[in-house]
Structure 1
Amino acid sequence: MTDARAVSPPDAPPPSAVLSVVLGLGRVLGPALAAVALRVRRARGKEDPARWREKLGRTALPRPDGALIWVHAVSVGESLSVLPLLQALTARGDLHVLLTCTTVTAMDLMQGRVPDRVILQYLPVDVPGPVERFLAHWRPDVAVMVESEFWPRLIHSTHRRGIPLILANARMSDRSAARWARMRGVAAAILGRFAALVATDGAMAERLVALGADPARVRVTGTLKRGAARLPVDAAERARLGAALAGRPVWLAASTHPGEEAAVLAAHRALCAERPEAMLILAPRHPPRGDEVAGLVAAAGLEQSRRSQGEAPGGQVYLADTLGEMGLWFDLCPVSFIGGSLVQGIGGHNAYEPALHGSAILHGPHVGNFADLYARLDGAGAARVVGDAAALAHAVAALSGDPAARAGLTAAAEAVLAAEADGVAETAGLILGLLPVATPTRSC
C-alpha cells in the first residue's frame, strides 16, 4: 500500500483571479441567494423541516473529543459508496467521523446504516457565514470530499484553516469535465488545495491532471464502490413481487436519463411484439421525473403501473419511480440496461451494483465515468454494448431467451469484480495518515 504519511497538505495553491471573483461575489450576494433558495426548497418539501438549519451551519450536537474526520458524500449513491470506508475508519476506536450529505433522501437512507461513532449532518450552503460556523464548531482534523464535490468557499475556507483535504473516489462526468476545462484556472486553484486526489482509475487520474492537479498528489487506488456490499433488498417485497412477475420475461432499465427513456420504450415495444408477456421495470435516475416518464410510457402506447402509487406490477411497464429500491430491481431482473450511457454528457453509471446482484449487464457507448471498468467488463464478455433501441431490443430478447448466455455474462462479471482493486484500505490509510500525530483521544 502507498505510504500514506508521504502525503502532506499543499502550500499556497495556484492563484486564480476568477476564483477570487467567485468568492467575492459569494460573500456579497451569497447570503441573500442562499436564504431565498432554502426558503423555496423548504416550501417544496425538499428540506428536512426539523434539521434545515444545519445548512446554515447551526447544530444542536456537540463536537466529540479527540480526532474527527469529516467525510462529505452529496447524495444516495455517494453515501452508500462510503459505508465501507466509514467501517475502515471507525475500526480505529479513538476517533469519530462526521458524515455530511446534501439531500434528504441520503440522510434518511444513512440513518441506522452508519457505524457507531459516525455523526450525521447536512452540509452547509456554500456561503461565508454557514461555512465558517460549520468549520468553527466541528473543527475537523481531516476533510474528505467524495467523487466531485468542488464547493469553492467550503474548500477555500477548509484549506485556509490548515485542515488537510482529500478528494476520494474521484469521479467527473464528461459534461462536468468539459465545463471545468473552460475554467481551468479555477479548477487548478481548487484542486491545488487538496493534499491527495484519489482516482478510481488511470483515465480519471489523467482527467484530474489535465485540469491542473499536481500529478505527485494524484493516486490511483481502485474504487470505493468495489468494497460496497449488495444493495439493500426487502426480502418480503422481493418474494411478493417475484410471485407477481412469475413466468414473465422481465428486464430492467436502471438509472435512465432524459433522452434514454424513448429508446428504452421503443426497445420494449419491439420485444412485446415477439413476446407480449414481457415486462419492463423502468427506474429513472431521478424519481421526481415520474410523471414525465409516465407520460412517455403512455405516449408509447404501453400499459403501465407505478410503484410510487402503490400499484402492483401490471401492464407492460412497471415504473419504479421510488428511491432506495434499486437492489430489489436488480434482484428481480435477469437482464439490466444501465442508463446514463445512451446519451452523451452523463458518462454512465455504476456497473458494480448489477454485477453484485447477478443481473446481466447491457450499456450504451457513453461510459466515460467508468471507462476502465466497462472496458474490462466488455473485454471479458461480462457486458454487452448497445448503441440504439434496435440493438437494445435484440440484446434483451437474446438474453431473455438464453439462460446459458446470461449465466456466462454474470459469471464473467463476477470474475472481473474479484480481480478489481479495492480502494477502501488505501484511501483509509491516506486519510488516517493525515491525522495529527498528537491528536487527543479523550473519551466523549
Structure 2
Amino acid sequence: MLPFIYSQLIRIALPFILIRLWWRGRNAPARRKNWLHRLGIVPKMFGPVIWVHSVSVGETIATAPMVRRLLAQNPDVAILMTAMTDTGLAQARKMFGDRVAYAYAPYDTPGAIRRFLDRVNPRILVILETEIWPNMIGLCRKRNVPVFLINARLSERSALGYERVRNLVAPVMQSITWVAAQAEPDAERFRRIGVAAAHVEVTGSVKFDVDIPEGVRDAATRLREQFGHRPVWIAGSTHDGEDVQLLEAQRGVLARHPSALLILVPRHPERFDAVAEMAAGKGFAVVRRSSGQPSKTAQVYVGDTMGELMMLYGASDMAFVGGSLTEHGGHNPLEPAAWAIPVFSGSHVFNFETIYERLESDRGAQRVQGSQELAQAVSHLMSNSTERLAFGQRALAVVNKNRGALDKVVEGIIERL
C-alpha cells in the first residue's frame, strides 16, 4: 500500500513541481530547456546503454573517472548521463562533449520512469551516492536492469528516517543489485534498512580517485599568471548566507595582506549576479570571470562560469569549501586537496563525514567557526609559506593514500554485467 500511496503523492505533486521549475527558470533559462525529459520523454537510444545517474555538479565530477574507464573498456556501449540539475548536466558536457549522451533524470512517477526506460532501454543503471528513488529502482528491477549504487553513503540521520518508512523502503532496498559503500558504517546502515548483506561491499570513496586533466592544469596555470604575484584563496560552492561571511573574512585578510585576492564561486548560477553585486556593494574591487577583464587589481574575483571550479581551485593557494558554514552538509573537499592546497570548511560537513575524518586525522583539513576564525587561519598561512605548503602536501597525501576505489567499482560493475 505504501508504494502506491507514494506514487499517487508524486503524481499529485507533479504539476506543482513543474510550475516551480518553470518559475525558477525565469532567471536560469537552462532549467526550462528539455523539460520534457522530466516526464521521461527523451531521445530514443539503440544498442547497449549504461545509464549513469548523479544528482548535481559534485557527484557528476566524481563519476568522471569511472565513465572514462567504462568508455575505454566498453567502446561498443553507449553511456547516458543524467542529473537532476542544469549545473550537473553542464558539468558533464564540459567533461565529455559528444562522447556520451545527456538527459535530465525523469521525475519519479511510474509513467515518467516507464517512458524513459522504453526510450533508453538501459543495460544497467549506475546511481551515485544516495539517489534512492523507489519507482526508478523498482521499475528497473522489474525489467531485469541491474541497479548499482556506487560511492554509497548513508548518514545515521538518514538511516533512521528510512527505518520510519520501512514498508516503503524495504522493497526498494531489496531491488538493488550491488551497493559499493564508502565505509563500513555506511555499509552497516544499508544492511540495516534492508539491503541483503551479500549485496553490500565496502569499496571506499571514488572521490579519492579524483582526476585532473592536463587541460585543466594548463588553464589553472594561465589564470594564476594573470593574477600576478600575490596570495590567492578561494571559497568554492558557496550557498546563500555564506557569502556575506566570506566577504567579511576577506576584509580581515586584506587588513594583513592588502594584495590578497578572494575567488568567490557561488554553487548555483542564479546567484552569480547577486553575489557580485553584494561584493561591490560592500566596497570591494570586483571582477567577474565571465567578463574577461584584467584581474590584477581585483580584491574579489567572482567565478560566474559553469564547470570551472576544479580549475579555479588549481589557481589558488588555499581553499574554503562551501555549504559548511550553513547547514547544507558541505561539498567535496578532495577537489582542492588533489591540488595540494590547504582545505578549510565550516562545521556542517555531514554529507562528507568520512572524507573529512580522514583529512582531519592527517591534518589535511581544518574546520573554522565563522568569518573571524577563517580570516585568521587564511592570513596565518599567507604569512607562512612553508607551513602552507606542508598543509597542502598532507591534504594530497590523504587523497593518494585512499585511491583505489575506482578500480574496485569498475571491476564490480563489469563482473556483475
Alignment TM class, shorter chain as reference: 0.7 to 0.9
The 1:330–1:407 alpha-carbon spacing in structure 2 relative to 1, beyond 3 Å, is: same
- Is the Cα contact below 8 Å between 1:267 and 1:390 reproduced in 2? yes
Shift of 1:423: 1.8
The 1:257–1:211 alpha-carbon spacing in structure 2 relative to 1, beyond 3 Å, is: farther
Instruction: Return the match for 2:320 from 337, 347, 367.
Output: 337
Match of 2:338 in 1: 356
- Measure, in 2, the Cα distance between the counterparts of 1:407 and 1:249: 13
The 1:174–1:404 alpha-carbon spacing in structure 2 relative to 1, beyond 3 Å, is: farther
- Is the Cα contact below 8 Å between 1:95 and 1:117 reproduced in 2? no
- Is the Cα contact below 8 Å between 1:132 and 1:157 reproduced in 2? yes
Shift of 1:327: 2.3
CA deviations 1:158-213 (Å, max 9, x no partner) are 22223221111124578866765664544444333212222212343344345554
Match of 2:412 in 1: 430
Shift of 1:400: 0.9
Alignment of structure 1 residues 67-86 onto 2, 5 Å:
67-86=48-67
- Measure, in 1, the Cα distance between the counterparts of 2:99 and 2:289: 35
Is 1:197 matched with 2:175?
no
The 1:178–1:401 alpha-carbon spacing in structure 2 relative to 1, beyond 3 Å, is: farther
Match of 1:128 in 2: 110
- Measure, in 2, the Cα distance between the counterparts of 1:278 and 1:250: 6
Report the more deviating stretch, 278-287 or 423-432: 423-432
Is 1:284 matched with 2:276?
no
User: What is the root-mean-square deviation of aligned Cα atoms in Å?
Assistant: 3.0
Output the amino acid matched with 1:157: L
Instruction: Return the match for 2:392 from 402, 410, 422.
Output: 410
The 1:383–1:35 alpha-carbon spacing in structure 2 relative to 1, beyond 3 Å, is: closer
How many correspondences in the alignment? Answer: 414
Identify unmatched segments of 5+ residues in structure 2: none
Shift of 1:354: 0.7
Which structure exhibits the higher relative contact order, with contacts defined as CA atoms closer than 8 Å and separated by 6 or more residues?
Answer: 1
CA deviations 1:379-422 (Å, max 9, x no partner) are 22222222222221111011111111111112222222221042
The 1:292–1:31 alpha-carbon spacing in structure 2 relative to 1, beyond 3 Å, is: closer
Instruction: Return the match for 2:144 from 139, 146, 162.
Output: 162
Alignment of structure 1 residues 369-408 onto 2, 5 Å:
369-408=351-390
Secondary structure of the 1:321 match is coil
- Measure, in 1, the Cα distance between the counterparts of 2:373 and 2:81: 42
Is 1:218 matched with 2:200?
yes
Alignment of structure 1 residues 146-157 onto 2, 5 Å:
146-157=128-139
Shift of 1:104: 3.5
- Is the Cα contact below 8 Å between 2:208 and 2:400 reproduced in 1? no
Report the more deviating stretch, 173-182 or 397-406: 173-182
CA deviations 1:55-78 (Å, max 9, x no partner) are 3333444411xx432211233322
Shift of 1:368: 2.0
TM-score normalised over the length of structure 1? 0.82
Secondary structure of the 1:82 match is helix
Instruction: Return the match for 1:322 from 305, 329, 339.
Output: 305
The 1:179–1:46 alpha-carbon spacing in structure 2 relative to 1, beyond 3 Å, is: farther
Match of 1:45 in 2: 29
Structure holding more helix per residue? 2
The 1:343–1:400 alpha-carbon spacing in structure 2 relative to 1, beyond 3 Å, is: same
Match of 1:20 in 2: 4
- Is the Cα contact below 8 Å between 1:203 and 1:372 reproduced in 2? no
- Measure, in 2, the Cα distance between the counterparts of 1:31 and 1:348: 29
- Is the Cα contact below 8 Å between 1:355 and 1:361 reproduced in 2? yes
The 1:234–1:161 alpha-carbon spacing in structure 2 relative to 1, beyond 3 Å, is: closer
TM-score normalised over the length of structure 2? 0.87
